[in-house]
Structure 1
């Protein structure tokens, strides 16, 4: 018959084994979940970086298009009014581009929200430019349609004077306002995109490691184009 001490020791071993097994299983599961969570954060960060890069490229391509268009127009007719020097450009911005701010919520734990503020600012600028470009194209197309119906007055000083007088004032007001908004955005917004990319990468690198975060490089020939 087993001794009472042996029985207690066997029970203790069994209990200890069970506790150790459960503890190891819990720890392994915890490590796995933490690793999985970190991988999800890396993926979310890199997707956000890619979205910002796409917005920046779209902005720079559109800016180059506007510069080329204005230069060609000025080369043909130097006395065009400002509203006529920005021709309707067919440019398809990707309206689906959007940084999922919620997926980057883990960065707020660092209590440094400057990077997220820059990301949100760049995204807002992009959405505004998309709207301005669509509005500009529609209004300029409407103006061109009205100009095509005009019968020019031979007594007018110039065709341009006559055309400008015949365009409804509400259209001229709209196109002048939209032109001003587009030109201001193209002159001022580039640093917001570049700084958003740099700030977000710095925060992600600090949190997850720089070797896990993609680098975005903008060619020098596309930077600081004068408009």
Structure 2
């Protein structure tokens, strides 16, 4: 029986760090992927002090070649990937209006929050299809729901998460085998992105996400969740 392998993008802080920690506590070999080597290695070292099976791999989700190389490294060193959590993301526009913001903000947000996830799935899915098993979790937001498009502000972030939700549904329809892909709204979480006044802790957010990492073959696929309950797109 092989130990299952999980990879978390943006895993050196906030929700990502807590996801790495909780997966390792539940017996996974966990790869913490991030684009800052110093922060990544520091986070891994802290987790290893608790005897957790965690390693760091440098991966920048804004660079396709970086993703390709990391996928090849995971294949070479582990030969498998059972759980993939697309957690890395940016929120650059605060409450700016879509057509008054610098267009570069929209392009950068889409590059990270949408195309980065698309490329990560594209390069890592062969490891899952080869074994006929995988669990993919995309970290989204209630800002990505269609109803949120009726309110102004944060347009770049909203559109990136709306596109991510669409990617989740389409990928679920196209990917074959016992591979489940779902998306989760973790709520407003007290992190560097969420700010200190947010009501939820990273641990609470991680618990609302991680149940999808171990669902059985009859579990949900192509759905959107908050706190374990399906929510509307």
Shorter-chain TM-score range: under 0.3
TM-score normalised over the length of structure 2: 0.22
The answer to which structure has the higher helix fraction is 1
Looking at both structures, which has the greater relative contact order when contacts are Cα pairs under 8 Å and sequence separation is at least 6? 1
The answer to which structure has the higher strand fraction is 2
TM-score normalised over the length of structure 1: 0.23
